[in-house]
Structure 1
């Protein structure tokens, strides 16, 4: 069983900065504005030969602008309850605050291992201010600077001493699923239904989710990581840096996923934003499920066949992607997404022999193709598979520039059918025969 560390404290003491420092990459959004973090943001961190889950939380005592205080506090309570160790973070530069006393008062009765971490100790004089935090009654304060890394190694050593044994690397890597879409399409509701708990905050307020939140869970003993993301907006609609970073995290999540689930609101249909997401998915060669949500509201107005035709017209670049009709709020047809994702991952990891590839090449070479202009006839000689996830084919030809976009689309579609990977993208590298890779 993997051990958990919860990072707790009032707003703007550096909780998210510490999480990012431990993860060695930017996970949580860091901003001077209080209350940016709302959900539990988790990341698996290596400490020596162990793996520990670290949980970032919202600031205790914050008055949320979208009136989500109760939801945020519920997420904090859940993080504390599930943790094996709590890190209470305070701010050396601000000194001891009344709200720090409130946080400590909340933690003391729990009788859970707790370390008091005094952040923002960038200079010796800051460390001199640490002594006043003894008043919180949480034993010896530990000075660190999360922004600069000072004292973090020593903090981790203290954490290891207090954590239960366990947390070795899993032999089976988790399949990563990015949930993307416009605001209020029902992504967070879908995530909660998928994993079977209220893991992320759901609200009618647009833009509730800010961070890209990785959530590990298991189905039938198989590990998955689902990534809930902020709803996308047009660039012209972005208000401030928090929304800008939220969008960047969401788009970055597509790149680090194995399979993408694009959530569409059935009542609103597709938009320019959905087309933008589709382009991102296609450009990154990611397998994709199109999940049509709130189907209970639309099913009396149209059929699944008609809606699939509508999606093909409006998102032609994802015409090969399977479509899932669901109602996340009622958990209807949600679990089918897991079997779809597994099927697509299997297709994306498929390897075929050179013999099978070249039989496919023969069929493509002898099949119909667009007319050739000005005698620039494209010729295909042979092919070999060079990678998986996605299936990547090196196609050796006479001249790559002779292959028009229309012809390339036709060849990709034919390879998808002939190699029996009908629902995933196939990446084709056009290489001139006799020349080194470009």
Structure 2
């Protein structure tokens, strides 16, 4: 499920995105074309959680390079969206660009909501009726800056979305192979599926999904998600990375464990780090798989040097296990899967409260929390309140007095005592 915001530059798409998601993730500036990349967020409305993507400004037929790239992003979003929010400017009215976009949108089966932004007074709300001439149905005048009319848009949006699929209980572990293009994600999947592992079901994804394969692996059923399973499209000439990013974002949302594939001959790039942190924010289990290991000249210490290099860059994510693999030689591809399953098991682990408090007591005696407003911070006890992903609640007299450095200290003590390799854990501090 995905909702895409599209429109020409400087109509307030990013302001609307920030309003609907309740955050300030998109850059807002009174300059056309500031939003050059997609930005992802979530809408929560009437019990639904809806992924939302903000695109760059749509500028048809521009020869300027970044505007051509923006057009491609918009085309990608249009192809992937379940509902499209076409944003216009109630102050300037309908332009040739909106006419062209409306022609493009009327040719699709995807529901389109026409949003006339900047309708922050009665005169502009009346002027918004001009957008009816685009033939896209109801027009929703809004002011993204102050929130006027956004409730009506959200109601219409929820109504236009397909019904959420019924969750059927199953014992499958969902493992998503994520990463930048051309690092060997599909080759690793093929290496796994091409052996004597039994393929139970294989369903080719639609244009809106990655490719899913359900595999019997030992005594466990695994759902592999290959985010590289993309159909080539002639109109996507540049920015294939944006297309892959959309698949990656969806795979992360639905997965239990994300295996980030990187190219051993290239190393860890900024884009890889962003993807890994995105998976961490979604509380996926995490594994780092270094592919094309067969192309690296090695001695007995090469793997350790690579590991030290990764840990130096990732620092706060040294809990992520690293596996060196080769899709070509099939080296350690099964170890990669075994590691991912171990991480899934760690993610589902529950620790007895008595064991947790033994560790807490020892940690506090070794390093007491700093004072808060000249008062001692006392952590009374802790307990695990959920699994998949694990969340630990700490009860204390001054929750605001627990600084980030002390939270990291407690997390380290939990990991030293109980493992949780590859698993992001959440520490919540409550008043007692």
TM-score w.r.t. structure 1 length?
Answer: 0.56
Count of residue pairs the alignment pairs up:
347
- The structural deviation recorded for 1:145 is 1.0
Q: 1:171 to 1:355 in 2, by over 3 A?
A: same
Asked if 1:215 corresponds to 2:242, the answer is: no
- Cα displacement string for residues 126-164 of structure 1 (whole angstroms, at most 9, x for unaligned residues): 223223333323344321112221111112233344444
**Aligned match for 1:224, one of 246, 252, 255:** 255
Structure 1 residue 111, shift from structure 2 partner: 5.1
2:180–2:262 Cα contact (<8 Å) kept: no
Aligned mates of 2:167, 2:327 — CA distance in 1: 32
Q: Secondary structure at the match of 1:215?
A: helix
2:194: which partner in 1? none
In structure 1, the partner of 2:324 is 325
The correspondence for 1:120, drawn from 115, 118, 121, is 118
Q: CA deviation at 1:104?
A: 1.3
Q: State how far apart, in whole Å, the 1-side matches of 2:27 and 2:100 are.
A: 25
1:150 and 1:356 map into 2 onto residues whose CA distance is: 52
CA distance in 1, matches of 2:255, 2:109: 32
The answer as to 2:145 corresponding to 1:147 is: yes
Partner Cα separation in structure 2 for residue 164 and residue 104 of structure 1 = 22
Hey, what's the Cα distance between the residues in 2 that align with 1:191 and 1:20? Answer: 35
Alignment of 1:306-325 (within 5 A): 306-312=302-308, 315=311, 321-325=320-324
Query: 1:168: Cα distance to partner?
Result: 7.1
Distance in 2 (alpha carbons) for counterparts of 1:57 and 1:27 = 12
Counterpart residue number, 2:13? 15
Distance 1:358 1:110 in 2: 58
The answer to whether the Cα contact below 8 Å between 1:290 and 1:321 also exists between their aligned partners in 2 is yes
Aligned to 1:195: 227
1:319-349 CA-partner distances (Å, limit 9, x unpaired) = 6542133579999989986764553353255
Deviation of the 1:100 alpha carbon? 1.4
Cα deviation, residue 90, structure 1:
0.7
Question: Could you state the TM-score of these two structures normalised by the residue count of structure 2?
Answer: 0.57
Unaligned runs of at least 5 residues, structure 2 = 187-225, 364-379, 395-404
Q: Map 1:273-312 onto structure 2 (within 5 A).
A: 289-292=287-290, 295=293, 297=295, 299=296, 301-302=297-298, 306-312=302-308
String of CA shifts for 1:365-405, please: whole Å, max 9, x gaps.
Answer: 9xxxxxxxxxxxxxxxxx976347668699xxxxxxxxxx9
Residue pairs, 1:109-188, within 5 angstroms = 109-110=107-108, 112-166=110-164, 187=180
- Residues of 1 paired with 2:275 and 2:52: CA distance? 30
CA distance in 1, matches of 2:270, 2:51: 37
- State the match for 1:386 in structure 2: 383
Cα 1:83–1:276 shift into 2, 3 Å? closer
Query: What secondary structure, in the 3-state scheme, does the structure 2 residue paired with 1:59 have?
Result: coil
Could you say if the C-alpha distance between residues 271 and 23 of structure 1 is closer, same or farther in structure 2, counting changes exceeding 3 Å? closer
Unaligned runs of 5+ in 1: 180-185, 226-258, 366-382, 395-404, 430-436
Give the conservation status (yes or no) of the 8 Å contact 2:72–2:238.
Answer: no
Return closer, same or farther for 1:171/1:52 CA change in 2, 3 Å cut-off. Answer: farther
CA contact (8 A) 1:189 1:328 kept: no
C-alpha change, 1:93 and 1:261, in structure 2 (3 Å) is farther
Q: Secondary structure at the match of 1:150?
A: coil
What are the superposed Cα offsets for residues 29-50 of structure 1, whole Å, 9 maximum, x if unpaired?
Answer: 4344444445554544333234
Q: How far off is 1:13 after superposition?
A: 1.8
Relative distance call for 1:192 and 1:107 in structure 2 (3 A) is farther
